[in-house]
Amino acid sequence: MKTIQFREAICEAMSEEMRRDESIYLMGEEVAEYNGAYKASKGMLDEFGAKRVIDTPIAELGFSGIAVGSTMTGNRPIVEFMTFNFSLVGIDQIINNAAKIRQMSGGQFKCPIVFRGPTGSAGQLGATHSQAFENWFANCPGLKVIVPSNPYDAKGLLKAAIRDDDPVIFMESEQMYGDKGEVPEGEYILPIGVAEIKREGSDVTIVSFGKIIKEAYAAADALAKEGVSCEVIDLRTVRPLDINTILDSVKKTNRLVILEEAWPFGNVSTEITYQVQEKAFDFLDAPIIKINTADTPAPYSPVLLEEWLPNSEDVVKAVKKVLYK
């Protein structure tokens, strides 16, 4: 095993796959000359050249459309958005073309494409640069949505995403690119659609994904000191959703808390809540609690932002509530 940063895990995954398959290319704003806005494509222009590592204008709709069209001629593009907030400019190409080509062509065209970049808040970036759209994309049939929380998962899942013959939304975080973690020296691939129990426990199940899961770990540590055993599940993939791992855990703990950095109305945790009550209602000893951001645009004020974002204290309170403590 070796220790690398999250950004290096992303770079290694893309580079290894591009060496393996010449039909893969990377395009996006500042991915080439600048080595990526967050240095996630460092050295790739030197290795692969300007035909396969392509700097684009600030025109997400345009280069997303070019990339989707190129899949129909045998290419396998990786499209980097500087942030998924900017994907809204190109979302028509993602929803109406990438997600639908396979069905609308009667299976004649597959669409092997990865749209990747950071999601969610990253400090004082204001309302238009602090949004989480995992549930928006997960709502659309034809798209897979992956949100890793550490370098090991990021590398293994990105390689799987690049090899997948359908469009994949791969979401990272500006605040995770510097995170370090162990990854194997050799090649490995993680299956899409499989959650992982990061910590085993017996009293309550906590489900989360992406960078906010760190707050779940902190809460689990604090609760352990009080004798509460938390099982923490990292979804890793939002769509397809690994509901069975959650159900198996809930049948053991009989309590569920879901932590998600997203607006509260109709999000991923809402879907999990519905499926658990449908399939494991009799195993629940308390109502499910979901913890989300405030139901407002993200504030710029650091005081308000701290109040807006869920944190470990919120998780501790929720766990104690489902335990009737």
Q: Would you name the residues annotated as active-site residues?
A: 60, 129
Distance of CA 120 to CAs 46, 117, 133, 210, 315, Å? 31, 10, 8, 9, 19
CA dist 24 and 279 (Å) reads: 41
* Residue showing tokens 């993939």: 237
Q: 17 near 163, Cβ under 8 Å?
A: yes
Compute, in degrees rounded to 10, the torsion defined by CA atoms 37, 43, 46, 52. -60
Position 289, amino acid: I
Residue length, the chain? 325
H-only helix segments in 21-59: 44-48
Instruction: Give every CB contact of residue 302 below 8 A, 6+ residues apart in sequence.
Output: 124
Residue 196: strand, helix, or coil? strand
271: Cα within 13 Å, side-chain hemisphere: 15
In the DSSP assignment, the letter for residue 245 is: H
Residue 233: strand, helix, or coil? strand
Instruction: Give every CB contact of residue 127 below 8 A, 6+ residues apart in sequence.
Output: 297, 298, 299, 300
Residue 245: both structure tokens together:
């791992």
* Residue showing tokens 């519905």: 274
Residue 93: strand, helix, or coil? helix
